[in-house]
Amino acid sequence: MSFETFNFDRTIMAGVRALGYVTPTPIQLQSIPPVLQGRDVIGLAQTGTGKTAAFVLPVLQHLLQRPRGRIGALVVSPTRELAEQTHETIGDLGRQTGVRSVAIYGGVGMEQQLRKLRQGVEIAVACPGRLLDHIWQGNIDLSHVEVLVIDEADRMFDMGFLPDIRNILRCMLQKKQTLLFSATMPDDVRRLVHEILQDPVTVQIGHAAPAASVSHTLYPVKQHLKTALLIELLRQTKTESVLVFTRTKYRAERVAEQLYKVGFKATSLQGNLSQYRRQTALDDFRSGRIKVLVATDVAARGIDVLSISHVINYDMPDTTDAYTHRIGRTGRVDNTGEAFTFVTSEDGAMVRDVEQVLKAKVERRTLPGFDYMAPAPKSPFVRPQFQLRRRMA
Ligand code: AMP
């Protein structure tokens, strides 16, 4: 099966070739035909499956036949990174089509986005909050949008964007087609699907479980030894790019600093960074200048780096969905990947849930030569006499 079977315009095929795509991925095979027919589609697929091209290609085809200079398709994304990446994919695949897109997200000034809107675009890829700002200021006209794409819908709901999405929907008077992509189908998403999609075709890739090309391993460890274990593990493991997840922004920053201090090309990606620094961190990670990126769940959303060989959960995620999303960063398309998860005595229930989703017991491993009995370092912030008193108490 090749891309020729979809009969895309030659300008679109030029983009497909430029990106080196030869065979459509399963999500592309199954969703492109109904999207081209104008059907509503629910795509149950995690990132890494090729879902972006699955909607970008038929949307480009649709827009080729529409008047230029007004927005005919809107892609709603939960995070700025995902919005930026989708915008870039549109740029790459659509380079010869003349179809233009704009990425709209907060954390940066509005002027540049406004300028692009004024110059005329056919696709807007937007995070809900900033999109509403533009709508309220009268900067953007969604009245000609015919295709709406809601990407990573489950994450969008986790982040509380449902009311925003309802407001955005009210501005689309000519919407003819809705495509909704989600790794999982929680009740909130199901309700929205019933409300806004008409007679949708459901395309499911896998079972919202982590990609089969990823192997999973647990590393039981005491909380205070996690950073030492991470350093040792990275030293002993042959890796390409590595994505490390922590529960908090602060921890992401600290862990990245500690890795950097002992010689790893590491940095952090978390919500405390300015947009410029986030973009630099992402670009450096993508180009390979940075080998280890330490991130929080929200910040890492949409990271698309094919060479990620390892995802390391420094902290256990809070939900199995979050586990699925994190692990979706490795083993993308044809690559294989490894997922290492540090577990403490408090993570027992979550481990069981993850094993249920994976339908398998996950291997527990210890790292040869690592001192698992090392004592907790004394906090430099606690005065010695207080430490003594604490020990006596
Ligand atoms: P996505 O799931 O959309 O984030 O895509 C994951 C990665 O797969 C991206 O780097 C895409 O460029 C790549 N990709 C998408 N479709 C194909 C394809 N048909 N063949 C090879 N790579 C692809």
Domain residue ranges of the chain, discontinuous segments joined by +: 3-204, 214-364
Looking at per-residue confidence, does 389 or 306 come out higher? 306
Alpha-carbon span 309 to 148, nearest angstrom: 33
User: What local confidence, expressed as pLDDT, does residue 271 receive?
Assistant: 77
Q: What confidence score (pLDDT) does residue 301 get? A: 66
* Average of per-residue pLDDT values in the chain: 88
Assess whether pLDDT exceeds 90 at residue 235.
yes
24 touches ligand 1 (CB under 6 Å): yes
Ligand 1 binding pocket includes 43 (Cβ within 6 Å): no
- Please identify, by atom number, the ligand 1 atom nearest to the C-alpha of residue 48: 2
- Between residues 386 and 333, the one the model is more confident about: 333
**What are phi and psi for residue 243, nearest 5 degrees?**
-115, 125
Give this prediction's pTM: 0.65
How many whole angstroms from 182 Cα to the centroid of ligand 1? 16
Which residue intervals of the chain are DSSP H helices?
10-18, 26-36, 51-64, 80-93, 111-119, 128-136, 153-158, 162-169, 187-196, 226-236, 249-261, 275-287, 297-300, 320-327, 348-358, 384-392
Evaluate: CB of 47 within 6 angstroms of ligand 1. yes
304 lines ligand 1 (CB under 6 A): yes
Higher-pLDDT residue of 254, 360:
254
Closest approach atom of ligand 1 to CA 49: 2
Residue 32: name the closest of 11, 4, 74 by CA.
Answer: 4
> Is there an atom of ligand 1 within 6 Å of 52 CB?
yes
For ligand 1, atom 19: residue with the closest CA: 24
Query: How many whole angstroms separate alpha carbon 61 and alpha carbon 287?
Result: 30
Closest CA to 44 of 157, 177, 153, 188: 153
C-alpha 184 to ligand 1 mean position (Å)? 19
Q: pLDDT tier at 112 (50, 70, 90 boundaries)?
A: very high
Percent of the chain whose predicted confidence (pLDDT) is above 70: 92
Can you tell me the mean pLDDT for 383-390? 42
> For the residues 42-51, what does the mean pLDDT come to?
84
* Among 357, 316, 331, 326, CA closest to 219: 316
Looking at per-residue pLDDT, the higher value among 334 and 229 belongs to 229
> Rounded distance, CA 321 to CA 356, Å?
12
- CATH H-level, domain 214-364: superfamily: P-loop containing nucleotide triphosphate hydrolases (3.40.50.300)
The residue assigned the tokens 């991130």 is 295
Average pLDDT over residues 149-157: 91
Query: Does 333 score more than 60 pLDDT?
Result: no
Task: Give the residue whose CA is nearest to atom 16 of ligand 1.
Answer: 50
The pLDDT value given to residue 231:
97
* Ligand 1 within 6 A of CB of 49: yes
CATH class of 3-204: alpha beta
Which atom of ligand 1 has the smallest separation from the CA of 47? Answer: 2
Q: What is the pLDDT of residue 386?
A: 40
CB 31 within 8 A of CB 57: no
Q: Examine domains 3-204 and 214-364 and report if their fold is the same.
A: yes
Residue nearest to ligand 1 atom 6, measured at CA: 48
Establish whether residue 333 lines the binding site of ligand 1, counting it when its CB lies within 6 angstroms of any ligand atom.
yes
Tokens 């927005």, residue located: 71
CA of 50 to the centre of ligand 1 (A): 4
142 pLDDT above the threshold of 90: yes
Q: Is residue 50 lining ligand 1, measured as CB closer than 6 Å?
A: yes
Half-sphere exposure of 386 (CA within 13 A, CB side): 6
In this prediction, residue 189 carries a pLDDT of 87
